């Protein structure tokens, strides 16, 4: 008879060690999308917006030293684990998992469908060392690896700032990274996939937003909604100066909407949209 | 129905884009009104903070007393409190027990002492946060004192006085829509409507930026050592928000917007009419330590 295999929170918990140097772990707490607010209040909305399945929180304690907390999220898919990791990209690359940052006593990384936050309540040289060791141990215990969202393939590589790419489904998260409008004028509605990327421009930075909808009709509606609210006096594909001597332009192609914000010139905005369109057509995913 | 959303382009028309998410740009919402100003008192003291994050109890009592005297305009602190609280009141002190920056026992006890000085028996006073709906004193409360720390917040931009009443709702998460835009509507619930006599925004060690699921790093706090006191929670919150924004500018070197737009503060004024968010309509009284005031 075979042994039952761990699954869900038990499997996730099995990736976290029971001690971290002299720190010993306390009992795990387990939360899902309905109970996460009991643990981190409104911050839970970020993880819910990425479709979190459950969270295993394990606190490590050592008298006289700051507590260390491991928050391990099962996001259900590698795309959403990557996405929630991109919510906060500030910090130094810690070379852990499939992408990581470290800053101010917080190590974040993703691997497969998991997102990990390893956190010291106060940063010291010792806690920093311990956090990095814990992260390496957990990452090594997670057996698989995941794919980044397919949508990232629609980002033209020229001038792309690879470390500043965000993936999300929600207009509040879009506004967190780049305020577009108070309302959900792009109709993301928690059902679309969206990627926002920074591009180097002469004298600044432009943004490219690409949104994937369920079908071309949904994309067409979203494009019309965006045009009506944001640039009612411009036709699709044409650029519009937005008052800061920068240019915005958008295009609907199949089930995708692409928008360039803050381009240095109208021609530059149009060229980037052309490049996105070529990538869509090359993948034949816009139909 | 015609509803016109505010977009980035609207902000670009009135100012540079940088401060748009945090600054709220009141001019977009409505012209300045000529009504009388509401008073907000900011009191600070340079005394050292204890391990719990508050100054010594006697310092906190003095700060609160000075603020309430200035707010009410009476040199006698007990008389001032008697204009806020009646002896027959049942009083709930709504505190905040967030692990990293709580209201602090020093503030809670300073408030409780003056409520008792106003004539309320100890058995008719309760201090609570997450248990307010089950607390028998809060269930019978005729008066509330709202006291909590100021901090940046992962979803609502900032967590401050308006947001502190979310625990009066059975499902707090139900108020998270549009990044907590309509939190002020909570103040219309029967548990709280018309009961708040004083708001105390604790600014001992405010959090001006957050990281990770817990949205806390000590690096992003500083010892401001202040209290903001007002009868108007919106005016107090917007004053605290201005200090947070000034600190972010000082720390980051630019007008970096808060991670989420704290629009619930302005909407508390313009949509829900809970109080005043326009700094031009706030009389800010500054008392005590002025170094690093930021406002």
Q: Where are the domains of chain B?
A: 35-288
Classify residue A216: in a domain, yes or no: yes
Q: Select from B65, B163, B162, B170 the least CA-distant residue to B107.
A: B65
Determine the pLDDT at residue A43: 83
Q: Please say whether the beta carbons of A187 and A221 come within 8 A.
A: yes
Interface touch A105/B219, C-beta < 8 Å: yes
Interface touch B211/A90, C-beta < 8 Å: yes
What string of DSSP letters covers B190-212? TTTTTTEEEEEEEEEEEE----T
Low-confidence ranges of chain A (pLDDT < 70): 1-7, 235-238, 243, 283-287
Q: What are the residues facing B159 on neighbouring strands? A: B151
Domain shared by A170 and A224, yes or no: yes
Domain span at residue A85? 8-141
| Burial of A4 from C-beta contacts in 10 A (0-12 / 13-18 / 19+) | exposed
| A114 in contact with chain B, both atoms CB, cutoff 8 A | no
**Closest chain B C-alpha to A88 CA, distance in angstroms:** 8
Classify residue A68: in a domain, yes or no: yes
- Gap between the Cα atoms of A97 and B193, Å rounded: 50
A29 CB neighbours in chain B (<8 A) are none
Most A CBs within 10 Å, among B1, B3, B9, B180, to test the A interface: B9
Residue that finishes a domain, picked among A113, A141, A169 = A141
A158, two tokens: 């020229």
Determine the pLDDT at residue B3: 64
3-class secondary-structure state, position A75: coil
Determine the pLDDT at residue A5: 54
| Cβ count within 10 A of residue B126 | 22
Domain shared by A95 and A159, yes or no: no
Domain shared by A182 and A270, yes or no: yes
Residue ranges of chain B whose CB lies within 8 Å of a chain A CB:
3-9, 11-13, 16-17, 20-21, 98, 100, 153-156, 159, 172-173, 176, 178-180, 211-220, 257, 259-261, 263
Domain shared by A163 and A116, yes or no: no
Interface touch B21/A108, C-beta < 8 Å: no
Domain shared by A124 and A167, yes or no: no
Q: Select from A119, A133, A72 the least CA-distant residue to A91.
A: A119
Question: What CATH number is given to the structural domain containing A60?
Answer: 3.40.1000
Q: Which of B98, B178, B211 sits opposite A106 (nearest CB)?
A: B211
Determine the pLDDT at residue A234: 72
| A233 in contact with chain B, both atoms CB, cutoff 8 A | no
Classify residue A3: in a domain, yes or no: no
Interface touch A43/B214, C-beta < 8 Å: yes
Instruction: Please report the residues numbered 69 through 98 in chain A whose beta carbons come closer than 8 angstroms to any beta carbon of chain B.
Output: 69, 71, 88, 90
Most B CBs within 10 Å, among A33, A41, A75, A234, to test the B interface: A41
A180 CB neighbours in chain B (<8 A) are 7-8
Q: What are the residues facing A160 on neighbouring strands? A: A199
Q: What are the residues facing A206 on neighbouring strands? A: A199
Q: Which of A47, A103, A229 sits opposite B7 (nearest CB)?
A: A229
Mean pLDDT taken over chain A: 92
- Gap between the Cα atoms of B164 and B230, Å rounded: 15
pTM over cut 0.90: no
Interface touch B213/A47, C-beta < 8 Å: yes
Interface touch B211/A183, C-beta < 8 Å: no
* Residue B172 DSSP label: G
Q: Which of B5, B155, B176 sits opposite A182 (nearest CB)?
A: B5
Q: Please say whether the beta carbons of B218 and A123 come within 8 A.
A: yes
Phi and psi at residue A208, to the nearest 5°:
-120, 125
Classify residue A2: in a domain, yes or no: no
First to last CA, chain A: 49
Classify residue A187: in a domain, yes or no: yes
* Residue B189 DSSP label: S
- Gap between the Cα atoms of A39 and A199, Å rounded: 37
| Burial of B132 from C-beta contacts in 10 A (0-12 / 13-18 / 19+) | buried
**Closest chain A C-alpha to B40 CA, distance in angstroms:** 28
Number of folded domains that form chain A: 2
B230, two tokens: 């007002």
Interface touch A122/B213, C-beta < 8 Å: no
Domain shared by A81 and A194, yes or no: no
Residue that finishes a domain, picked among A98, A114, A141 = A141
The count of C-alpha atoms lying within 13 angstroms of the C-alpha of B88, restricted to the half-sphere facing its C-beta, is 0
**Closest chain B C-alpha to A285 CA, distance in angstroms:** 30
Interface touch B6/A90, C-beta < 8 Å: no
Domain shared by A127 and A245, yes or no: no
Q: Which of B155, B173, B220 sits opposite A46 (nearest CB)?
A: B155
Q: B155 vs A75, A221, A250, B180, CA distance in Å?
A: 19, 28, 28, 7
Q: What are the residues facing B226 on neighbouring strands? A: B44, B203
Residue that finishes a domain, picked among A141, A160, A192 = A141
Per-residue confidence in pLDDT tens, chain B, 295 aa: 456 777 877 766 654 444 444 444 433 434 445 568 999 999 999 999 999 999 999 999 999 999 999 999 999 999 999 999 999 999 999 999 999 999 999 999 999 999 999 999 999 999 999 999 999 999 999 999 999 999 999 889 999 999 999 999 998 888 888 889 999 999 999 999 999 999 999 999 999 999 899 999 999 999 999 999 999 999 999 999 999 999 999 999 987 778 788 999 999 999 999 999 999 999 999 999 999 999 9
Domain shared by A278 and A168, yes or no: yes
Domain shared by A127 and A190, yes or no: no
Domain shared by A133 and A205, yes or no: no
Determine the pLDDT at residue A278: 96
B211 CB neighbours in chain A (<8 A) are 88, 90, 103-104, 106
ipTM: 0.81
In chain B, the residue whose alpha carbon lies closest to the alpha carbon of A101 is B212
| A123 in contact with chain B, both atoms CB, cutoff 8 A | yes
Phi and psi at residue A31, to the nearest 5°:
-135, 155
A88 CB neighbours in chain B (<8 A) are 211-212
Determine the pLDDT at residue B179: 86
Computed over its alpha carbons, how large is the radius of gyration of chain B? Answer: 18
A45 CB neighbours in chain B (<8 A) are 154-155, 173, 176, 179
In chain A, the residue whose alpha carbon lies closest to the alpha carbon of B167 is A41
Determine the pLDDT at residue B154: 86
**Closest chain A C-alpha to B245 CA, distance in angstroms:** 16
Domain shared by A125 and A156, yes or no: no
For the segment B56-75, what is each residue's pLDDT rounded down to a tens digit? Answer: 999 999 999 999 999 999 99
- Gap between the Cα atoms of B294 and B243, Å rounded: 6
**Closest chain A C-alpha to B178 CA, distance in angstroms:** 7
Please work out, in degrees rounded to the nearest 5, the angle formed at the alpha carbon of residue B246 by the alpha carbons of B286 and B260. Answer: 120
Determine the pLDDT at residue A89: 93
């Amino acid at each position: 008879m075979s042994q039952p295999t761990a699954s869900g929170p038990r499997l996730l918990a099995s990736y976290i060690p029971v001690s971290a140097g002299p720190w010993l772990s306390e009992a795990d707490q387990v939360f899902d999308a309905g109970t996460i607010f009991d643990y981190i209040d409104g911050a839970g909305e970020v993880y819910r917006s990425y479709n979190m399945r459950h969270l295993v929180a394990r606190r490590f304690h050592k008298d006289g030293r700051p507590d260390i907390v491991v928050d391990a999220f099962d996001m259900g898919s590698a795309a959403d684990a990557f996405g929630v990791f991109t919510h906060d990209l500030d910090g130094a690359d810690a070379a852990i998992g499939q992408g990581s940052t470290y800053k101010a006593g917080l190590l974040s990384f993703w691997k497969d469908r998991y997102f990990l936050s390893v956190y010291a309540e106060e940063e010291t040289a010792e806690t920093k060392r311990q956090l990095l060791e814990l992260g390496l141990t957990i990452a090594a215990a997670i057996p698989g690896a995941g794919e980044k969202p397919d949508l990232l393939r629609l980002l033209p590589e020229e001038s792309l700032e690879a470390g500043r790419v965000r993936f999300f489904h929600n207009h509040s998260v879009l506004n967190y990274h780049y305020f577009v409008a108070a309302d959900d004028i792009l109709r993301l509605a928690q059902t679309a996939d969206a990627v926002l990327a920074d591009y180097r421009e002469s004298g600044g930075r432009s943004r490219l937003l690409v949104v994937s909808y369920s079908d071309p009709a949904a994309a067409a509606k979203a494009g019309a909604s965006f045009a009506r609210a944001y640039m009612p006096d411009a036709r699709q594909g044409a650029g519009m100066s937005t008052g800061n001597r920068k240019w915005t332009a958008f295009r609907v192609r199949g089930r995708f909407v692409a928008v360039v914000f803050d381009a240095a010139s109208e021609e530059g905005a149009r060229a980037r949209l052309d490049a996105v369109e070529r990538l869509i057509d090359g993948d034949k995913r816009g139909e | 129905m015609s509803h016109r959303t505010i977009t980035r382009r609207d902000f670009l028309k009135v100012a540079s884009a940088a401060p748009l998410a945090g600054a709220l740009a009141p001019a977009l919402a409505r012209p300045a009104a000529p009504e009388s100003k509401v008073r907000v008192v900011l009191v600070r003291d340079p005394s050292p903070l204890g391990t719990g994050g508050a100054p010594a109890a006697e310092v906190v009592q003095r700060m609160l007393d000075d603020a309430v005297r200035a707010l009410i305009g009476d040199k006698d602190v007990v008389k001032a409190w008697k204009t806020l609280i009646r002896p027959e009141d049942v009083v709930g002190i709504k505190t905040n027990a967030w692990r990293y920056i709580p209201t602090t026992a020093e503030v809670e006890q300073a408030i409780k002492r003056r409520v008792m000085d106003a004539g309320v028996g100890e058995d008719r006073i309760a201090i609570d946060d997450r248990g307010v709906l089950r607390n028998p004193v809060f269930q019978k409360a005729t008066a509330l004192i709202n006291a909590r720390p100021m901090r940046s917040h992962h979803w609502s931009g900032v967590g401050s006085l308006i947001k502190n009443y979310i625990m009066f709702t059975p499902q707090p998460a139900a108020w998270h829509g549009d990044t907590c835009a309509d939190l002020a509507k909570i103040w219309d619930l029967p548990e709280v409507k018309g009961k708040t006599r004083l708001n105390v925004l604790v600014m001992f060690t405010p959090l001006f930026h957050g990281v990770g699921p817990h949205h806390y790093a000590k690096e992003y706090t500083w010892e401001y050592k202040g209290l903001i006191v007002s009868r108007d929670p919106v005016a107090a919150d917007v004053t605290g928000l201005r200090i947070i924004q000034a600190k972010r500018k000082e720390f980051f070197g630019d007008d970096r917007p808060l991670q989420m737009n704290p629009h619930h503060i302005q909407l508390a004024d313009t949509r829900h009419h809970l109080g005043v968010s326009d700094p031009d309509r706030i009389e800010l009284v500054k008392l005590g330590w002025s170094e690093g005031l930021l406002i």
